[in-house]
Amino acid sequence: MKGQNPSKKNKFKIKKMKITKLKSILFVAIATLFITNANAQDVKTENYDQGFRLGLGINAGLPTNTEVYNFALGGDVRLQYDLTQRYSVVLTTGFTNLFINDGVKDLGFIPVKAGFKAFVFKNQFYVLGEIGGGIAVTNGYKQDTYLWAPGVGYANKYIDLSLRYEAYTEYNTNQIGLRVAYGFKL
């Protein structure tokens, strides 16, 4: 049978075609490496300047227990250290006042939180998670609380807008809060 036993001449042609194909593949691979390397030399690389940012914010919130609380209002200071262009650690403190219904004295507390911020889209939209505590400081309230707060936000060079859910282990409520802040590099 003709197809099962190729002649010596056909074996030589097949071997020559395989070598030519190998040379072509090798040439394309080497050319690609040189082109990629040449293009990489033209791209300007910028080192990301790690550093601190400070944000001054105003917070407004709606408590989840509306039978007891009307609304929440406060201010905060957030120190942010940029680990990379996409990831940061944050420390936040300030003052939050929970306004209570029916003439009962309002509850004011100082939140102290630490967290992690990750930019997930175009280095402007982020997710944030914070944990910490709230220290009651007004109207004779003695009950402190643990708190945690996941959130999402948008930040540019100066403005930071975020929406968060802030949960407390005490105070018989949680809140959904909006933060508007002005930030700058230190």
Judged by phi (left if over 0) then psi (alpha if -120 to 50, else beta), residue 76 lies in: beta
pLDDT in tens, 110-155: 999 999 999 999 889 999 999 999 999 999 999 999 999 999 999 9
pLDDT in tens, 31-53: 555 554 444 444 444 566 789 99
